Every structure is written in structure tokens, then in C-alpha cells.
Structure 1
Amino acid sequence: MGTLFGNADLLAAIAPLDCVLRLDAPSILTPNLLSLLPPNRVVLAFDAAALAHDGAQKQIAALHERGYRLMLDGALPPSVLRPSAAPAVALDCRDGAPPPSSLLPSFGPHLARRVDSAGRFAECARAGFDWFSGAYPFDAAGGQGQDGTSRRRLLGLLALLARDADSRELELVLKQDPVLSFHLLRLVNSAAFALNTPITGYVQAIAVLGRRQLQRWLQLLLYAGGSADGLPNLLLPLAALRAGQLEMLCKAEGGERDEQDLAFMTGAFSLLDRLLGMPMQDIVGDLRLPGHVEAALLERSGALGERLRMAEHGADSDALRAAGIDGATWWASLLHAHHWAIQVSRNV
């Protein structure tokens, strides 16, 4: 933990988000460790069972006095009252959620962990949870709200992006998709670009972004919400995370700019089957991608496929060694990917 938080880049990479640090007991936190954990950026979540140990209540009160936000994870020990210094709840909800509104009387935000389905997410939200972790984004109904015409238009745009089409060709497709157009114009007018003059047309938007950035953003804007005023699809930050990490790994390994673009595309496209609700084989067949990109998306084979699989599931030291990636490079790619995914989510 000291090594992790001793790296100043960690909290900078995930800003403005805070870090929830789950620990067995407050006694783990030595003065040296606490010096690495700024109270304004780190939320401490302790196993509620630790309250049965002598001194735990006083330690929690002392951390509260130092300005830390505190959660208790799990059920309280018998005959132990919840301390006022730790009013927020964290709970493993894999096997069920508390009754509706049961958490509302308690001060939050409350964290629901291992939320692995859209149905469980809804149950946890009704219970009063504010923060969620788990695989629930993958459970969204694929292709929801997309008719056959919309799906064909998306696939047509993907094909144009894959073959580096002319800006005018992209413009023609964008004009047929008001939702995607809305998200593109909102993006170029966001704080990320800090322009003095509002952008109102496709030609202007393409000129502001540049072709390379336009293609990258459009690959991710495909995951934008199903309506102009809707929230982005929950798959958006996951696609951005994979795209950013594969790009950074490619760059670190000496890949040329075109190779980096293909690595980014591979990460961005890796969730299209879930987005569109159709087999990846059918999607790839329409895009005419380079062979090694197809192999990565369909089979997770080849060097690019191996890195995609690692970005999806994580990697231990043995997997990194087998892939020829050192720990520092992997860590840097993770920080870059999280920073990029947060930027995307804030601006789309």
C-alpha cells in the first residue's frame, strides 16, 4: 500500500475522483501510511467486524477527527452500535440487496460492492446506495433502442473510420445520426477544448479535433447515450479504459503512430458486440480490419490480443513476464488509461 500511494501519479491520474481504500482494520494504518493518504482524496472502508476488537472505536474516532471519510463494510458485530464517526455503509451485494430505502436514514455516500447485474444495480439504488462497483455495465441490454437502420448506420460509420475515410464521407453519415451529432458537437464545445467561439457545424468540428482525434473520439462516441439528453452508455468508460491502455502499451513498446491508432481502435471496438447486441464475428466481417486486429477481437490471439485480454482481466507478475512487459510500463499504462477514461466520461 505504501508503494501504491507513495506514487504521486496515482491520485493525479484519477482526479477528480476519490479513492475508496478497503482495509481489514484501522490498526493497519501506521503514521507513515497515513501521511501518504490525503483525507480529501481517500475514503477509508473498514471491515465492520473490526469493531469487536479493543481500541477500534477510538481509532475510527481519531481518523474522523483527522478529516477522513469512513465506511464500515459488512454487518456490525452483535451488540455493537454503528459509531457516529463512520455513518456510511459498504456492503457486498452479490447475493442480494437491502430492502428499498433502508439506507436512506444513514448518512452516505454508501457503496454497493460486487453488483454484477442490471437488476441488482436497480435493487441497490432503491436501497439507497450511491456508489457501485462490479460487472453490472456488461449486463446492459445489447442494442437496446437501436433499430435496424440505426445499427447499419453505426456499422457504416465504423467501416469509414477503420479505412481512414475522407472527412466529407464521415460528415454525410453524421448528418443522418442526430444523437451522435449531438454528442460530437457537445464534445467540441466542452471545457476540454476551451474554445471562444461555439462550434455549430461538422466541418468546424472536424477542423477543431483534427482527423486523428476525430476518429478516436468517434470510436468512443458510438457508446454515447441512446437519446440526445440521455446519459452515456455504461460501457463508454470501459471501452475508453481499454483503448487508452492498449495505445500506451503499444507506444511504450516502440509502435509507430499507425500501430498505436490500431491498438486504440482494438480496445474501443472490443465491446461493440455488447453495445450492438450482435456477434463480434458479424461486426468484424463488415469492417474489413487488419488481420491482427480481427484476431485480437475475435480470438484474443497474437500480441495485440494478449494485451487486450490482460486489459480486460488484469495481469499478475507471471503474465507480465510472459508478455515481455515490465511492471513500471504496465503501471504507467494503467494510470494513463484511467486518466483518459475519466476525461472521456466527463466530456461526452
Structure 2
Amino acid sequence: MRELYLTRFPMFDAEGNGAGYDISPRETGKDQEWAPDVLFSTLTGPDLLPYLDPDSPTFVPLTPEVVGPNLLDFLPAGYPLVLELEAGDLLARGQEPPFAGTSGLIHEHCFATALRVTRADWEALAGRRGEEPPCTGWDYVVISAEDALDGLGPGHFPGLAGEILVRGVTTPADFEFLRQGGFGLYEGTFFADPMDLSVQALSPGRAGAIRALNAVLRDQVVALPQDYPDLVLRLLGLLNSPVFRGATKITSVERAVVLLGYRELSRWLSLLLFMGDTDEYQPSLLFREAYLRGALTERLMQRVGLPEEDARGGYLAGILAVLQALLRQPADQMAAGLDLGDHIQTALSGRSGPIGEALSVVERLRRSDWLESDTMVAGVTLPVTTLYSDESEVTRETIDDF
């Protein structure tokens, strides 16, 4: 039985607000079909539950051969699940659009439905449909950003009850263009680049938080109360808030280090970067993605045997690579302006050096790219299965921690 690794990607609406999650299965080869027994056991077992959010829709891709009462009766209830199938698979199995039998069966079990459609699928659907539009009865349609940019859009899907999810949006410019086209949901890495490349001044609070995070990652917290008193007050407020779920009241940074350690303290300091000036400590989808990229970059650097200080620098680089979208300032310029070190700046500006290489691999993973072969970081080979396993494990850790 092959292993199936799961990872999770945030989805956003046209305003850039978090709208849900997209689960992606990872296997060892791009062209291998998913084994039904592996898929079934994963989707009905305890491995799936940490990836689901009771408050946000979660898109779960399925293969037609596993869709049936045997699966649907065992999927976890109480979650807004969207079960996603490929139109091409349904056509290949002899079903006729609008595939009412499949969508109806899923709806009977109180789940929503999504139909993944390529341009070639749409042409086949258009040529075979009867009186009913090919998406009647489906709640969502999922299309690639490439097809959307090539003109496949809302007008091609009459009868669709809900939204179109565009998957694989990679640049702010594409996001803006597609938003004007009336699409409702987006998944991709467009948020990992600044939406506005004009440099804006960092607020003193944010600049101080980034410098403080860099200091904590280097095990240097002695100067924090003197240099960043306002930040320390906010940090202590966060550590004593319900979201932290701590049993012991923390009254000083030194006490926090004793109770939590530098690594744990850096996690919560990272959260402050994404909170702005509010004291509402609920982690956002954007923060979770930033933390995941930072933690995964750090883990890859540890795997290839790089020094711990460099690995922690990878964590900071991964955080900044997503934070730039929120602050509307390129990450490499932030690193240079805050004097975070040449190794972090070069990693962010050209994805060079060990940190840059590790960050580049992480970004490929988070673009849903298939890795055709083993990759290298700092001259050390990392097997594809190791990368997928690490991504899945860090995804779960992120969900558990935040």
C-alpha cells in the first residue's frame, strides 16, 4: 500500500479574506493513479481530521471509484466538506453531464460538490450536454489559473449554483486581473508577493517586532524589555490570552524563556507580526501559511546538516516571504533595511545561498508543484518522499499549534 501525504492550502475570496482550505494529496510520482484503498483509509481515518476546519469549507479531491455510500457514510460529519471530482474522470467512466447521479449522491450525505474542469473537459461537456447546462446541481467549479487567464470563465458555466475556484494563481497581477473577471475564490501563491511594489515605510511596531524575532531566533532576549517595551507588553498579553491556553501566568520575557524556550517564544512573536495594531489574537490563514513556510524551510535546513543559527534564519526568511504581502513591501528590502544579515537578504532577493535554496524548494511545494525527482539543498539530496512527509507533518503541527 502506497502512502498518501496530505497538505493544506489556504483559499481567499476576491477581497483577499480567508475563505477556506484546499487539501492536496501527495504521492511519490506524478503520473500514478491514487490507490482507492489508500485514499479511502486516509479520508475515513483519524489522519484527515486535523486538516479540517469546522468553520470554513474544505475542498477534498476524490476519485470516482471511491465515491459511494461506503465512503460517504464514514466521512466526518459536522465539517463543511466540499468533495471535488474531475469532469474528465466522470466522462471517462461513461457518465453523462451534468453527472446528476454523482452530485446527488454526495448531496444526500450533506456534503457540497465541486467539479474540476479543464478547457478540454469543457469542450467535451459542451459537445455532449443535453438540455441542461453541464454544471447544474454542482456547488462549485474548479479551474486552473492558466485556463482562467486563457478565457475560461463564469460565462462558460451556466447553471452553476455557487462559486468558481481558480487554483494556482501565482502573481498579484494575475489575481487582480482574475478578480475583475468575476471569479469568487482563489488558491495559489499570489499572496506571497507584495500586492503593491511601491516601498512603504514600516511602522515602528512592526520593525521592532521583526528585529525582536531575529534576536530571539539568535537566543538574544536580554535587551528586549529595554529596546521594545511596547512589544513586550503585547507579547505578554498574547502569552496570557485564551489562544495560548497556558496554565501559568507569564509576567516577564525571562519567565517566558524559562517556561517556553526560545523556539516556542519565536512562534508567538511571529504571530504579533500579522496582528497589526489589534489585540485580537486569532491567527489568520495568512499567518498560518507564513508560519508553515518558515518552519518547513527551517526543517529542510536541519535535514541537510546546516548550523542551527542558519536554520533559524530560514524560519525568519520563510515568514518574511509571506509577510511582505501584508506589509506591501518586498521582503528583501525589509531584510536590508532592518539589517537582518546578508544571508537572509540574499535568500529573499535571489533565492540564493543555503537559505534561498531551501526556501525555493518550499515555495515549489506550496505552489502544488509536482517534484519530478529528488532535489538538492546545500549540495545534499532530499528525496521527494521526505519532502512530502515533512510538508504534511509541518502542516499538522501548524494546525495543532495555531
Is this a same-fold pair by TM over 0.5? yes
1:65 is matched with 108
One-letter code aligned to 1:137:
F
Is 1:54 matched up with 2:86? no
For residues 329 and 307 of structure 1, the distance between their equivalents in structure 2, rounded to whole angstroms, comes to: 14
1:296 is matched with 347
Among candidates 38, 61, 82, match of residue 75 of structure 2: 38
Give the SS at the match of 1:133. strand
2:272 is matched with 221
Query: Are the structure 2 counterparts of residues 45 and 233 from structure 1 closer, same or farther at C-alpha, using a change threshold of 3 Å?
Result: closer
Among candidates 26, 40, 59, match of residue 20 of structure 1: 59
Shift of 1:222: 1.7
Is 1:280 matched up with 2:323? no
Shift of 1:334: 0.5
User: 1:86-142, CA deviations, whole angstroms, 9 ceiling, x for partnerless residues?
Assistant: 45123447448759xx99x94x6x452245646468769x97x5x542334235447
For residues 210 and 358 of structure 2, the distance between their equivalents in structure 1, rounded to whole angstroms, comes to: 25
For residues 165 and 363 of structure 2, the distance between their equivalents in structure 1, rounded to whole angstroms, comes to: 22
Among candidates 129, 145, 160, match of residue 215 of structure 2: 160
Is 1:210 matched up with 2:261? yes
For residues 326 and 36 of structure 1, the distance between their equivalents in structure 2, rounded to whole angstroms, comes to: 36
* Contact persistence 1:90–1:111 (CA under 8 A): yes
Is 1:331 matched up with 2:388? yes
User: 1:5-49, CA deviations, whole angstroms, 9 ceiling, x for partnerless residues?
Assistant: 6556752552447752346xx744367994898364653223568
Query: Are the structure 2 counterparts of residues 159 and 257 from structure 1 closer, same or farther at C-alpha, using a change threshold of 3 Å?
Result: closer
* Contact persistence 2:154–2:164 (CA under 8 A): no
When structure 1 is superposed on structure 2, of 266-275 and 90-99 the one drifting more is 90-99
Q: After superposition, where does 1:1-348 map in structure 2 within 5 Å?
A: 1-2=34-35, 3=38, 6=41, 11-16=48-53, 19-22=58-61, 27-29=64-66, 34=71, 38=75, 40=77, 43-47=82-86, 53-54=95-96, 56-73=99-116, 78=129, 79-80=131-132, 86-92=137-143, 94-95=148-149, 106=161, 110=163, 112-114=165-167, 117=172, 119=176, 129=184, 132-138=186-192, 139-141=194-196, 149-150=204-205, 152-161=207-216, 163-167=218-222, 169-177=223-231, 181-182=233-234, 185-195=237-247, 199=250, 205-229=256-280, 235-253=286-304, 257-258=308-309, 260-271=311-322, 273-274=324-325, 275=327, 277-278=329-330, 280-281=332-333, 283-284=335-336, 286-289=338-341, 292-314=343-365, 316-320=371-375, 324-343=381-400, 346=402
Query: Are the structure 2 counterparts of residues 188 and 330 from structure 1 closer, same or farther at C-alpha, using a change threshold of 3 Å?
Result: farther
Shift of 1:213: 1.6
Shift of 1:249: 2.6
For residues 159 and 133 of structure 1, the distance between their equivalents in structure 2, rounded to whole angstroms, comes to: 30
* Contact persistence 1:13–1:336 (CA under 8 A): no
For residues 287 and 251 of structure 2, the distance between their equivalents in structure 1, rounded to whole angstroms, comes to: 24
Question: Normalising by structure 2, what TM-score?
Answer: 0.62
Query: Are the structure 2 counterparts of residues 336 and 319 from structure 1 closer, same or farther at C-alpha, using a change threshold of 3 Å?
Result: same
One-letter code aligned to 2:389:
A
Q: CA-atom RMSD, angstroms?
A: 4.6
One-letter code aligned to 2:100:
Q
* Contact persistence 1:240–1:340 (CA under 8 A): no
* Contact persistence 1:240–1:267 (CA under 8 A): yes
User: 1:200-256, CA deviations, whole angstroms, 9 ceiling, x for partnerless residues?
Assistant: 665655554333321243234323335345976764233212112123334444566
Count of paired positions: 329
One-letter code aligned to 1:190:
P
For residues 111 and 153 of structure 1, the distance between their equivalents in structure 2, rounded to whole angstroms, comes to: 40
Question: Normalising by structure 1, what TM-score?
Answer: 0.69
* Contact persistence 1:71–1:89 (CA under 8 A): yes
One-letter code aligned to 1:243:
G
Give the SS at the match of 1:287. coil
One-letter code aligned to 1:171:
P
* Contact persistence 1:273–1:283 (CA under 8 A): no
For residues 205 and 69 of structure 1, the distance between their equivalents in structure 2, rounded to whole angstroms, comes to: 44
Query: Are the structure 2 counterparts of residues 37 and 83 from structure 1 closer, same or farther at C-alpha, using a change threshold of 3 Å?
Result: farther
Query: Are the structure 2 counterparts of residues 220 and 269 from structure 1 closer, same or farther at C-alpha, using a change threshold of 3 Å?
Result: farther
* Contact persistence 2:68–2:105 (CA under 8 A): no
* Contact persistence 2:50–2:400 (CA under 8 A): no
Identical residues among aligned pairs (%): 21
For residues 164 and 245 of structure 1, the distance between their equivalents in structure 2, rounded to whole angstroms, comes to: 20
Query: Are the structure 2 counterparts of residues 170 and 319 from structure 1 closer, same or farther at C-alpha, using a change threshold of 3 Å?
Result: same
One-letter code aligned to 1:134:
G
For residues 222 and 243 of structure 1, the distance between their equivalents in structure 2, rounded to whole angstroms, comes to: 13
